[in-house]
Structure 1
Amino acid sequence: MAGVPPDYFSATGQLWGNPIYDYKRMEKDGFRWWKDRVRNASNIYDVLRIDHFRGMADYWAIPFPSKDATPGHWEIGPGTKLVDAIKEAAKDMQIVAEDLGALDDSVYRLKAYSQWPGMHIFEFGFDSKDPSNHDLPANYEPNSV
């Protein structure tokens, strides 16, 4: 099942309850389901936000039937292959990568590869005294929302 590991918001993580995409199978048909979804969205919207972008780099997999997210583990996501498929389908539609939460180098590298703007939460910038805080306005990247 999908979710996120324990963090500063929840000691037991988040258990979303939905199944995880079978990315290996999706890759076999060139991520057709994703491409169809993005093409359909481009007929309705000017901007598409990719929720939980970090799941494209790696994602938290929780065994069924867990009661919370603590027994989960990290799995490697589809990465650049899925980014390329989405870009192909999106054509000129603007895409925003929702890159909130606990991020690591694999997420930062994938976001740089995609060239999609990421997101910041202004209030989160002042939650800690860490001068490198991702959400501190002085640390915003030029390509961000």
Structure 2
Amino acid sequence: MSSSNSDSSSEDDLTSSVPSSRQIVQSPLSFVTNVLAAEETEESVMFPAVKRSNRILLKEPSKRDMIIYKRYVNFERRSNPQYDPDIHIVMTVSSAFTIDSTVDVIPPTVTKTSKEIYQNYIQKNSGRVTVPAASLALYKKYVNFNQLQH
């Protein structure tokens, strides 16, 4: 028999004492969640006046939140001049607005109704008020009706 077979420890004992690269490492967030969710410890028995009624329950972030977080981390890495990426990414602006310059600007499209509303606003502000004929006729009819009653 070889010396390895004569050892009294089993193969399971040997493998469990040696750290494996395949062991699952608990995330810090999970660790804190487990600690906070644990039952009262011996310290709380020593200090019964201190109660943990206002503790914050932490949980793993949602998949959507992690995607957003990773997106912004990657954005920060690529915008950092000290970061030397393996691949080069070309970022483009996706916007509803056109890309204008100080030399060539495309004016926005304004409807005829909007222009009329703006012109009326300007005239009212400068004291030149134009009232539609139908409104003047209605006003004269109202004034004449009130004069007849007195």
Fold in common (TM above 0.5): no
Q: Which has the higher helix share?
A: 2
Q: Which has the larger radius of gyration?
A: 2
Q: Shorter-normalised TM-score: what interval?
A: under 0.3
Question: Larger % of strand: which?
Answer: 1
Taking CA–CA contacts closer than 8 Å with sequence separation of 6 or more, which of the two structures ends up with the larger relative contact order?
1
**What TM-score do you get using the length of structure 2 for normalisation?**
0.18
